[in-house]
Structure 1
Amino acid sequence: MTKEFRKNITGRGASSNAGNRFDKHSYEPTPEDFDNYQEEEQPRLQTEILKDHSKTILTENKSPDIGFRFSVNAYRGCEHGCAYCYARPTHEYLGYSAGLDFESKIFVKENAPEQLRAALMKKSWQPEPIAMSGVTDCYQPLERKMELTKRCLEVLLEFRNPTWLITKNALILRDLEIFKEMASYNGVAIMLSVTSLDAELARDLEPRTSHPMARLKAVETLAKAGIPVGVNVAPVIPGLTDHEMPAILKAAKDAGAVFAGYTPLRLPLSVAPLFSEWLEVHRPLKKEKVLSLIKDIRGGKLNDANFGSRMQGQGAVADNLAGMFDLYCRKFHLNEQRIRLSVDHFRRPPQSGEQMGFDFGE
């Protein structure tokens, strides 16, 4: 779509539905199509819930630069609508766009808790931490109604299988009592992602996430409850949010975080034109600078898919970010100890018809 007709869609991160890279045909509207366009006629884009009929719940990760092997994704797509989200292209495999479709057509795996229970009951399952989630946010707005994440947590608690969670939503506090019990056997760690402390920027960039201060308040509440919690400064957008890293790390420490991480922005596949469009709509004066700095970090491109470098980037700009992160983590005493989750308490509940074994001695 030509830039004259790119609109700010209320409550959404994307401004359009980018073409699906697997489609053989696409339609590009012309100015004549908008001759009778009335902006007030455009209805507010509603979220559509679709059923996910996939037969497995555990997704195995084989990337050597990601710190987990298995993840649970009870949702596909994400209402948070973060303009930069690396997971957007996954919607194209489902026949939809990485743009507005990704944040408005959400696939829901209604039997996720039952599938998770079945997976953990298998004797082939060797207990290890399970991430929630890999390609969605497990506490996106739909979770308030669906409660799939909560029910999956209850399964993990029953089996004493450790988990770590990452989210941008303060809804995570709803499940505080579950986390307290998990923490008693070293079975949980949580990260809240904070991209910016600027509420206006956050609203434009990640429209349906919690307010940055609400996320930091969630960090504080979790920390006071004895739950290992950290803050992920991610993504770091050079030329837009990179200057905020020291303030975010300080706010994280003040809230009680004990660890932190960061990742410079990269724009895989269809995310590149979508984020470029976001810049044009919301921050046009910064567009060229931001894209240029991303290329500086990503070897002259907007994306780097190589293991290792994709997480931290390369070159002078990336080195400066790494140095700043290390400096302020030391200053605020973050990452002084490694968080290790325990699998020692894993147990399988007796199946129907089985009896609990007791040893009364002799």
Structure 2
Amino acid sequence: MPTPDREFPVAPPAPLKGRGAVTNMQGRYEKDARESVDDGWTHETADDDGAPVLRTQVFEERAKSILTRNNSPDIPFTVSLNPYRGCEHGCIYCFARPTHSYLGLSPGLDFESRIYAKINAGELLERELAKPNYQPDPIALGVNTDAYQPVERDLKLTRRVIEVLHDCGHPFAAITKSSLIERDIDLLAPMAERGQFMAAITVTTLDADIARTLEPRAATPSRRLRTIRTLAEAGIPVGVSIAPVIPFVTEPDLERVLEACAEAGATTASYIVLRLPWEVAPLFKDWLTAHFAGRADRVMSRVRDMRGGKDYDSDFATRMKGEGLWADMLKQRFHQATKRLGLNQRNRGILDMSDFKRPAIVKMPPKTGQLDLF
């Protein structure tokens, strides 16, 4: 962990195989400091190389609500849905990491190894859409944490949510790094044909070695390109999200990523400059020291050039794209490349809400405690 007078750790912990964070730093709400000490009594599971293995734990929870609303002027949607809290993909840059602090857990390794599954997501959504005063608005699926992370293969919570949206004719968009989205083409393609669905695949780099440390349990870059092609061939509008752009790490790949995705069938593209809110900043610096020690100072210097001299600035006007000379140059590179490749030339389209059908009233499981009078 970085100390107050030192930005990068002198000797960061060795990375764990298949994990993004190299530490399990405490969340910002913890009052007591804790430090791990090996007293010889702990026996960790190890892989074939003798390195410790951190197993993923999945906890079921019954959520009280499922739709999240925002009024942020720099976000192109107002309603989102996330079936999971925490994400096993382990992307070190994930802006959602600090949310695990609300659970009393670490935004570091806990975030990617202790996953909370909202097992009643489909029921809650159906009940929400059935309300007499509900007004349909396109839903963004999997924006905070990936709706198609590994545990979805077994739990199928995202599949259930899509079934509800499909049956109601409710428009939505999904963003993911996983090829598992191909599983649901039988539902997604008909919705896309009716103008009710569009997809975005996040591709940060084409370098598989960088991706392996940056996004350790997400699909490889080549597999994501294949997913773009599969979705496009099924008639689904698909775009690429280059998020985040990390100076001197993924930034040199910008034009090549756009070219590869356009060739695969993407028709739209967007990008976001690296964001380091709250605990993400020290976690990212630890990761930099562990994997790109020789570039760490240059990376953070360029980040600050685009953030008004700070690690991060949450101002709505600049938090997604940055500011200053280097941010302007990145913007020019992106727009020149998309224009040359024919990306973003067509209207992105407005999802059609005209076919929305309110579902029948859903009978939820009985409440515990005192019974209702009627």
TM bin, normalised by shorter chain, reads over 0.9
Partners of 1:250 and 1:198 in 2: how far apart? Answer: 14
Amino acid at match of 1:56: S
Matched-pair identity in %: 46
Cα distance between partner residues in 1 of 2:38 and 2:289: 20
Match of residue 285 from structure 1 = 294
Matching residue's letter, 1:21: R
Give deviations 1:262-281, integer Å, cap 9, x for gaps: 00101001000000000111
Q: What do residues 265-318 of structure 1 show as CA deviations (whole Å, max 9, x unaligned)?
A: 010010000000001111111111111111111111111111121011000110
Equivalence for 2:16: 9
Q: What's the CA shift for 1:4? A: 3.2
Q: 1:3 to 1:140 in 2, by over 3 A?
A: farther
Deviation at 1:197, TM superposition (A): 0.2
Q: State how far apart, in whole Å, the 2-side matches of 1:139 and 1:38 are.
A: 32
CA contact (8 A) 1:6 1:15 kept: yes
Q: Which residue in the other structure is 1:119 paired with?
A: 128
1:1-362 correspondence to structure 2 within 5 Å: 1=1, 3-4=10-11, 6-28=13-35, 33=37, 43-337=52-346, 338-351=348-361
Contact in 2 for aligned 1:59/1:72 (Cα 8 Å): yes
Whole-Å separation in 1 of the counterparts to 2:362 and 2:209: 53
**Which amino acid in the other structure matches residue 283 of structure 1?**
F
1:133–1:166 contact (8 Å) kept in structure 2: yes
What are the ranges of 5 or more consecutive residues in structure 2 without an aligned counterpart? 2-8, 364-374
Preserved contact between residue 130 and residue 362 of structure 2 (Cα < 8 Å): no
- Contact 2:80/2:140 (<8 A) preserved: yes
Partner secondary structure for residue 308 of structure 2: coil
Deviations 1:154-191 (A, max 9, x none): 00001101000000011110111111111121000100
Shift of 1:339: 2.3
SS in 1 for 2:319: helix
State the match for 1:356 in structure 2.
Answer: none
Residue 233 of structure 1 aligns to a residue in which SS? strand
CA offset digits 1:317-353 (Å, max 9, x no partner): 1001100010000000001122211101111244589
For 2:301, what is the secondary structure of its paired residue?
Answer: helix
How far apart, CA to CA, are the structure 2 residues paired with 1:5 and 1:184?
A: 50
Q: Which moved more, 1:181-190 or 1:3-12?
A: 3-12
Structure 2 CA distance for partners of 1:204 and 1:5, relative to 1, 3 Å: closer
SS at match of 2:199: strand
Specify the code of the residue in structure 2 equivalent to 1:339: G
Give ranges in structure 1 of 5+ residues lacking alignment.
354-362
Which moved further from structure 2: 119-128 or 34-43? 34-43
Deviates more, 1:40-49 or 1:276-285: 40-49
Shift of 1:53: 3.1
Larger displacement relative to structure 2 (229-238 or 47-56): 47-56
SS at match of 1:310: coil
Cα distance in 1 for partners of 2:152, 2:295 equals: 34
Counterpart AA for 1:98: P
SS in 1 for 2:226: helix
Bigger fraction of residues in helix:
1
CA distance in 2, matches of 1:292, 1:121: 51
Task: Please state how far the C-alpha of 1:111 moved relative to its aligned partner.
Answer: 0.6
Give the CA RMSD over aligned residues.
1.8
Q: How many residues align?
A: 350
Deviations 1:218-264 (A, max 9, x none): 10111111110000111000111111111011111101111000001
Q: Is the 8 A contact 1:266 1:298 kept in 2?
A: no
